[in-house]
Amino acid sequence: MTSVVLEVERHVADSGWDQPSQVYALADTADLLAREPALAPHIGDSPPGSLTPVEQEPLPVGRLDEVLAGIGWPPEVLGCVLVTELVVLPPSAEEEAPYSDHEIEYWAANHPERQDVRLAVGVTRSGLHASCLRVRGDDELVVDPDLADNLVDGLLATFQ
């Protein structure tokens, strides 16, 4: 699972920053090639049980939790990967945060200690999950399955 999440994050990273949130369906590679043999040259040799990410239509604008609540997958989709960009602030900034959602977004986007990050989170129907995070301006990826528990839960709910 980690390898497919890293693959998707690197694919999105090739387009640079300031990208909208994107979701990819995960299909069993062998099943996908059986249904779509013309994809074989693009996919190449894959070990049994491998997953192939399939980019979906852009996500609608809105709160990510609400957008995810509107997603459902057909049975042949075995998992999904979400890639989204976020603003991260230090814990000390919490004391200064305004209360309204509209004000907090503007405030966070203009905070001098903000860090822009790209987060990729993947799940399978069976509950496997993986995630990675890239800080803007840094080439290294932080790989940790527990970076975004709320997003893991939200993505798993798309399979119910």
The strands making up 129-135's β-sheet, listed across from edge to edge, are 51-55, 22-28, 77-88, 115-124, 129-135, 141-143
Distance CA 99, CA 53 (A): 38
Partnered with residue 131 across adjacent β-strands are 121
Distance CA 106, CA 109 (A): 5
Q: Which two tokens stand for residue 71?
A: 């997603």
Q: What is the pLDDT of residue 128?
A: 96
Q: What is the pLDDT of residue 61?
A: 86
Q: What is the mean pLDDT of each run of 10 residues along the chain (160 residues)?
A: 96 95 95 88 82 94 91 96 89 73 70 88 97 94 93 96
